[in-house]
């Protein structure tokens, strides 16, 4: 049985459990709305703004940290 790359729960998607998979899908969907609102918003700036936002959920923050780790 394959495991989530973030939390070690059973994978539901290619990389993530159902919680982190949903968080990632929401990140992607929300990015388009944020670009419309902010204009020229880079993906990494978007993720930085979300990390700084106290209302961002823990699963989203864990996905962002994973994505940043993968970038390096």
Pairwise CA distance, residues 24 & 28, whole Å: 6
pLDDT by residue (tens digit) across 16-44?
999 999 999 999 999 999 999 988 899 99
pLDDT by residue (tens digit) across 48-63?
999 999 999 999 999 9
Predicted structure pTM score: 0.88
Banded model confidence at residue 67, pLDDT cuts 50, 70, 90:
very high
Pairwise CA distance, residues 15 & 20, whole Å: 9
Q: What are the residues whose beta carbons fall under 8 Å from the beta carbon of 61, sequence distance 6 or more?
A: 50, 51
């Amino acid at each position: 049985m394959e495991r989530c790359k973030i939390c070690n729960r059973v994978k539901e998607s290619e990389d993530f459990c159902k919680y982190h998979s949903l968080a990632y899908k929401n990140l992607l969907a929300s990015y388009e709305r944020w670009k419309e609102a902010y204009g020229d918003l880079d993906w990494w700036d978007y993720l930085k703004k979300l990390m700084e936002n106290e209302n961002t959920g823990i699963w989203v923050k864990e996905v962002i940290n994973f994505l940043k780790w993968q970038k390096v």
